[in-house]
Amino acid sequence: MSEQEVADLKTRVAVLETKDEAQEARLNTLEIDVGKKFDRLEAKLDQLLQAASGRPSWTIALTISGLMTVVTGLIVYVVIH
């Protein structure tokens, strides 16, 4: 290899190392941003779960609705007959 080729290879390696360092810095920044967003999302999810914990479950809500329908039907039946 000639000195020019060696110099070109060193230049290419230096450029690639610089790009690699820049990519690592961007990746670290992205990891930090994603971590912060997940923390905020987790906090909002916790708030949502706490708000929903005071409400009845779907099974209870459907049972109450069904019982109210049956009672209303029986009241109408008793009033008509």
The arithmetic mean of pLDDT across residues 52-81, rounded, is 89
The arithmetic mean of pLDDT across residues 46-69, rounded, is 86
Q: pLDDT by residue (tens digit) across 43-54?
A: 999 988 887 777
- What sign for the dihedral angle of Cα 49, 51, 54, 58? negative
The answer to whether the pTM exceeds 0.85 is no
Range of the domain at 25: 3-80
- C-alpha distances in angstroms, 62 versus 1, 14, 56, 70? 82, 68, 10, 12
The total number of structural domains in the chain stands at: 1
